[in-house]
Structure 1
Amino acid sequence: MSDLLSIGASGLKAYSRAMTTIGDNIANAQTPGYARRRLALSEMASGTESALVGRNVSPGGVVIGGLTRSVDKWLIDDARASSGEAERAMARLSWMTRTEDALSDDSNGISTNLTKLFTTADKLTADPNNRTLRAEFLQTAKDIATGFQGTAKELASMSEGISGEAATAVGEINANLDALERINDGLRKARPGSTNEASLLDERDRLVDQISAQMPVTTSYDAKGAVTVRAASSGDMLVGNATVTHVSVATGADGRLSFTAGGAPLDPGSGNLAGLAQAADHVAGQRSGLDAAAAAFAGQLNAAHQAGTDANGNAGQPLFGGTTAATLTATTLSPDQVAAANTSGTNGNMLSIGGMRGANDPEAAWSGRLAEQAQATASARAQGAAAATRADGAAAARDNVSGVDLDQEAADLLRFQQAYSAAARTIQVARETMQALLSAI
């Protein structure tokens, strides 16, 4: 009779714990990083029988073996790798799009004003003494210089923005590395199979997910589940042996980024840091190219204008000053100082300036720069879409194993409720039988 009571009692305890576990699964179905938990239950051998011989074992109740988490290491690693690549592509695309906007004609009007400058020069060939057209020619040159200045300022601001975002990302990585070491300490003290251990393992995996989204890492685990994290590119240890190595970022004079871990160079091949580094490189290249374009444009127009004579018969003066896009300024001239004439006639120099238009003139060079940027942005957009699709597929595959299926949980809950009722009925039968025996004495 005592065996019947112990069987019922063990069942009540086990199935109550199982329903609690299912309740935790349902409550955390949408919690990021939560892995579905299952309570390991096994049959208890009778205390009066030998468990070494199967046919002599009689049921003795239910044994709780502890919590297990539904995880697949390969799927986890694949999801982290694809997530890091998606983060890299998204970070790069975000700044590539902003760069395209900064260079666009809607933003700076450079393309429109370059066309207008040559169009006005053409008009001056027909009416070289028209002071209105001369003033329009000078104002257009000023608008072009303003456009270069504005674009240079916007690109410089973007470099600062990328640098700030990288500093924030590195700060998040270091905070996660510190938190991961605290989780490792908790896992070394946690009781195997406990709810506390399962929660720590969930948090461990969530932190590693966040770190791997920022930069590629490799992981290894000890018997207690404590993780050792290393930088994938160099193998340098970031977390392990109760120590943490922080990541640092430095910004060069041109806005390019460099990363280190414990003073050693770090090359993030994927993840958000890699995307920011690539974006910084691209913006730095565009800033350099913008300066070169401004210098080339100013040099060509200055040389062309100085080759002519103004309305007073004086030699033409430079139209622009400055050596970079940020310092490019239009020279203050009066309409009479526009050098429309040359030795061939009163409109000869304007004819020469109008004749500059072609494959290598500033207008064509600027259009080519915009086309290159548009192509680069389109390529980044396609790569981003492909990486996002790949990451979504890997995450879905991981969730199929680790995620909570509410339909399955509902079915298991019903099954354990029935088992709980059966265990309670077992105790009731034992109690009624005992009372009947006592009454018969």
Structure 2
Amino acid sequence: MSDLLGIGYSGLKAYSRALSTVGDNIANAQTPGYARRRLEMMEPVSGSDSVFYRGNVNPAGVEIRGVSRSVDAWLIADSRLSSGDSERAATKLGWLGKVEGALSDESNGIKTGLTRLFTTADQLTADPGNRTLRSQFLQAVDEVASGFRTAAGQLDRMSEGIGGAATSTVDQFNANLQALEQINIGLRKARPGSTNEASLLDERDRLLDKLSSQAGVSATFENNGSVTLRASGSGDLLVGGGVVNPIAVTAAADGRLSYSIGGSPLTITTGSLAGLSEAANHVADQRSELDALAVSFAAQLNAAHQAGTDANGNPGAPLFTGTSAATLTAAALTPEQVAAADASGSNGNMLALGAMRGAADPEARWSGHLAGQAQATASARAQAAAAETRADAAAAARDGVSEVDLDREAADLLRFQQAYQAAARTIQVARETMQTLLNSI
């Protein structure tokens, strides 16, 4: 009779815990990083048996082995790897899109200004003495200079923005490293198979997911679930043995980023930090190219204008001053100082300036520069789309194992409720049987 009571009691305890586990699954179905849990149960070894040999079947109820999580280590690792690549591509694409916007004509008007400059020069060939056209010509020069300054200012602010984003991400990364070490401490103390251990493992995996999306990391796990984390590629220790080694970021004068750990250079090739580094390099290149184009355009147009003579017969003055895109300025000229004439006639210099239009003129070179940026953005967009598709597929495969299925939980809920009622009925039968025996004495 005592065995019957023991069987019923063990069932009540086990199925009550199982119902609680199902409840946790349902309550956390939408919680990020939560892995489905299940209660592991087994038939206990009876007193007359051993774990190696069972001579007789001797029912002894049910025994709780602990809470386990539905996870697949390979799918998790694959998901983290693809997530890092997706974050890198998406971060880079975001900034390249902003660069494309900063260089667009809607933003700075450089293309419109150059087109207007050459169009006005063509009009001056027909009416070189027209003061209105001369003013429009100088206005176009000012629009070009102002456009270069605008573009340079936007790229400068963009470089600062990337540096600020990198600093913020590095701070978050280091905070996550500290949090991961606290999880390690908790896992070393947690009772195996407990709900507390499962919660700590969920938080550990969530932190590893975040760290992987920020930078490349490589994790190795101890039997108790604690993790040793290293930078992928270099192998530098980030977390392990009670030690946390934070990383740092430094921005060069041109905005390029470099990462370090313990004072030594750290190469990051995946995650949002890698995307920020690549974006910073691209912006630095664009700033350099913008300066080169500004100086080249100024020199080319200055030389063309200085080859002619103005309305007063004086040699043409430079149209631009400045040594970079940020300092490019239209010279303060009057309409009479527009050098429309040359030795061949009153419109000779404007004819020569108009003849500059072609493969190497400022207008065509600027259009080519914009086309190059558009191509770089399109390439980054294609890479980001492919990486996102890959990451979504890996995440779906991972969720197929770890995600909570409410239909399945509903079925388990019904199954364990019935098992709980059966265990309760077992105790009731034992009680009634015992009472009958006592009454018969």
**Structure 1 Cα separation of the partners of residues 128 and 310 of structure 2:** 10
Give how far 1:44 is off.
1.7
**Structure 2 Cα separation of the partners of residues 314 and 111 of structure 1:** 30
Q: How far does the alpha carbon of each residue in 1:386-427 deviate from its partner, in whole angstroms, 9 at most, with x for none?
A: 111110000000001111111111111111111101100000
Answer whether contact 1:50 1:56 (CA < 8 A) is retained.
Answer: no
Which position in structure 2 is the counterpart of 1:292?
292
Which position in structure 2 is the counterpart of 1:420?
420
Which position in structure 1 is the counterpart of 2:207?
207
Give how far 1:223 is off.
1.6
Give how far 1:49 is off.
4.6
Which AA in structure 2 matches 1:159?
A: S
**Structure 1 Cα separation of the partners of residues 161 and 197 of structure 2:** 40
Q: How far does the alpha carbon of each residue in 1:239-284 deviate from its partner, in whole angstroms, 9 at most, with x for none?
A: 0010000010000100100001121211111100010001001111
Q: How far does the alpha carbon of each residue in 1:75-99 deviate from its partner, in whole angstroms, 9 at most, with x for none?
A: 0000000000000011000000000
**Structure 2 Cα separation of the partners of residues 139 and 233 of structure 1:** 55
Give how far 1:222 is off.
1.1
- Structure 2 length normalisation: TM-score? 0.99
Which position in structure 2 is the counterpart of 1:193?
193
Give how far 1:56 is off.
1.1
Give how far 1:55 is off.
4.1
Q: How far does the alpha carbon of each residue in 1:113-149 deviate from its partner, in whole angstroms, 9 at most, with x for none?
A: 1011001001001100000000100011001100000
Give how far 1:439 is off.
0.4
Which position in structure 1 is the counterpart of 2:173?
173
Which AA in structure 1 matches 2:11?
A: G
Q: How far does the alpha carbon of each residue in 1:317-373 deviate from its partner, in whole angstroms, 9 at most, with x for none?
A: 000000100000000000000001111111111111111111000000000001011
**Structure 2 Cα separation of the partners of residues 84 and 340 of structure 1:** 59
Unpaired runs of at least 5, structure 2: none
**Structure 2 Cα separation of the partners of residues 175 and 262 of structure 1:** 16
Higher alpha-carbon deviation: 234-243 or 402-411: 402-411
**Structure 2 Cα separation of the partners of residues 49 and 275 of structure 1:** 62
**Structure 2 Cα separation of the partners of residues 102 and 61 of structure 1:** 72
- Structure 1 length normalisation: TM-score? 0.99
Which position in structure 1 is the counterpart of 2:350?
350
Whether 1:54 aligns to 2:66 is: no
Q: How far does the alpha carbon of each residue in 1:179-202 deviate from its partner, in whole angstroms, 9 at most, with x for none?
A: 000000111111111111111111
SS of match in other structure, 1:44:
coil
Which AA in structure 2 matches 1:15?
A: Y
**Structure 2 Cα separation of the partners of residues 73 and 293 of structure 1:** 52
Which position in structure 2 is the counterpart of 1:336?
336
Q: 1:51 to 1:179 in 2, by over 3 A?
A: closer
How many pairs were matched up?
Answer: 441
Answer whether contact 1:159 1:280 (CA < 8 A) is retained.
Answer: yes
Give how far 1:52 is off.
4.1
**Structure 2 Cα separation of the partners of residues 224 and 51 of structure 1:** 25
Moved over 2 A (4+): 45-55
Which AA in structure 1 matches 2:386?
A: A
Unpaired runs of at least 5, structure 1: none
Q: CA RMSD in A?
A: 0.8
**Structure 2 Cα separation of the partners of residues 93 and 22 of structure 1:** 42
Which position in structure 2 is the counterpart of 1:63?
63
Q: 1:124 to 1:198 in 2, by over 3 A?
A: same
Matches within 5 A, 1:19-168: 19-50=19-50, 52-168=52-168
Q: Percent identity?
A: 67
Give how far 1:50 is off.
4.9
